């Protein structure tokens, strides 16, 4: 697909320097580098400075409550880059929206100037540049994995980080665990000049998007697309073609964007999966993207669903 890697969180050419992860002395030397910077995250929210990442030096006071040693993200032209989870810090107020579909609240740490704040990445992802977007998505996904995988899945003992944060090791049974990425198919389902969209009950009012679902064990991407569309909307799909992918660190998915050609336009919506689904004509979809549709709000800017819909409207899927 033309411009497939231009999707938000797409590759920016960042050097992850994975060959250095097994060399503790090299990681220690990079942490001691005056150019090294660490991205703090609080309960999944990265630190921002303006419309960019809020990098701080490794010895900064904001990192005093880090749960574990910083994760090595890689090497940027400006120096080594790390990430650290400081979730034990307790701000003066914890918002009720924390952990909901979208938390618009921001938190400011007393060790930082007022122009620094922790904010939800969903709300900032269209304002940051490609390099920061890749780094923040990586940092959020990997620190989130550590926060929820502190115990060995094999024997239940406490595990510890290794390989500069890219593994967890269980000293009790010797098992090694790695950050997980869950493949999710997201489908641009069309039938002639019509596009299929749906909405979940917990989404904001009027918001519709492309159908999506997790790939199951032993399943191809194409089979997952056909199964999900049939289960959610009762629509049979024929030809399936891969278009583009997007890392989606909410918490740790890889969205696999596909074009699926429906064999008919009838709908049988499963209420356990969707609150509603409908077909939109191409001109009607233009109205949705422009915010002029009386019923349907478009997917969030920066999401691959929006990216694929805009590409379909512009006839640039090939």
| 46 plus 109 within the same structural domain | yes
C-beta of residue 215 within 8 angstroms of C-beta of residue 185: yes
- 251-267 pLDDT, tens per residue? 999 999 999 999 999 99
Q: For 268-281, write each residue's pLDDT tens digit.
A: 999 999 999 999 99
Q: What is the pLDDT of residue 115?
A: 96
Residue 246 has pLDDT above 90, yes or no: yes
pLDDT score recorded for residue 101: 72
Q: Which residue has the tokens 């660490």?
A: 38
pLDDT, average across residues 282-309: 96
SS3 177: strand
Encoding tokens for residue 183? 């493949």
What pLDDT does 154 receive?
Answer: 98
> Looking at the whole model, is its pTM more than 0.95?
no
Domains of the chain: total: 3
Residues 225 and 160 in one domain: no
Domain match, 38 and 126 both: yes
Mean pLDDT for 138-147 is 97
Question: Is residue 318 assigned to a domain?
Answer: no
- Verify that 107 and 229 share a domain, yes or no: no
Tens-place pLDDT, residues 27-49: 999 999 999 999 999 999 999 99
- Check whether residue 248 and residue 290 sit in a common domain: yes
| Distance (Å, whole) CA 137 – CA 248 | 7
Nearest CA to 49 among 126, 132, 122, 141?
132
* HSE-CB of 265 using CA atoms within 13 angstroms: 11
Q: What pLDDT does 97 receive?
A: 82
- pLDDT over 90 at 19, yes or no: yes
**Angle, helix 282-289 to helix 304-313, in steps of 10 degrees:** 130
Q: Which domain holds residue 155?
A: 149-180
Q: What's the pLDDT tens digit per position in 158-209? A: 999 999 999 999 999 999 999 999 999 999 999 999 999 999 999 989 999 9
**Residues 154, 203: one domain?**
no
Question: What pLDDT sits at residue 222?
Answer: 98
pLDDT recorded at residue 175? 98
* Same domain? 118 vs 237: no
Helix count and strand count (H, E) for the chain: 6, 15
The whole-number pLDDT of residue 70 equals 98
Taking all residues of the chain, what is their mean pLDDT, rounded to a whole number? 95
């Amino acid at each position: 697909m033309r411009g497939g890697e231009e999707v938000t969180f797409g590759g920016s050419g960042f050097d992850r320097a994975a060959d250095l992860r097994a060399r503790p002395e090299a990681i220690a030397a990079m942490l001691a580098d005056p150019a090294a910077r660490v991205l703090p995250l609080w309960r999944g929210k990265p630190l921002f400075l303006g419309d960019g990442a809020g990098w701080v030096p490794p010895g900064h006071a904001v990192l005093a409550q880090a749960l574990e040693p910083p994760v090595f993200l890689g090497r940027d032209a400006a120096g080594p880059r790390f990430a650290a989870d400081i979730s034990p810090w307790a701000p003066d107020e914890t918002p009720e929206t924390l952990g909901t579909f979208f938390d618009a609240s921001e938190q400011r740490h007393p060790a930082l100037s007022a122009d620094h704040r922790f904010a939800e990445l969903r709300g900032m992802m269209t304002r940051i540049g490609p390099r920061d977007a890749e780094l923040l998505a990586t940092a959020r996904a990997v620190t989130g994995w550590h926060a929820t995988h502190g115990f060995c899945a094999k024997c239940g003992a406490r595990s510890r980080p290794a390989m500069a944060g890219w593994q967890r090791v269980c000293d009790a049974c010797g098992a090694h665990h790695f950050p997980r990425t869950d493949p999710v198919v997201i489908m641009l389902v069309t039938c002639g000049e019509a596009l299929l969209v749906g909405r979940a009950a917990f989404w904001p009012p009027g918001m519709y998007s492309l159908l999506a679902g997790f790939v199951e064990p032993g399943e191809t991407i194409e089979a997952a697309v056909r199964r999900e569309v049939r289960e959610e909307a009762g629509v049979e799909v024929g030809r399936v073609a891969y278009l583009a992918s997007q890392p989606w660190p909410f918490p740790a998915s890889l969205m696999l964007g596909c074009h699926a050609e429906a064999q008919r336009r009838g709908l049988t919506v499963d209420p356990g999966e969707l609150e509603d689904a409908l077909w939109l004509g191409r001109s009607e979809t233009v109205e949705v993207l422009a915010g002029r549709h009386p019923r349907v709000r478009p997917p969030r800017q920066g999401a691959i669903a929006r990216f694929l819909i805009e590409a379909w409207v512009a006839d640039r899927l090939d």
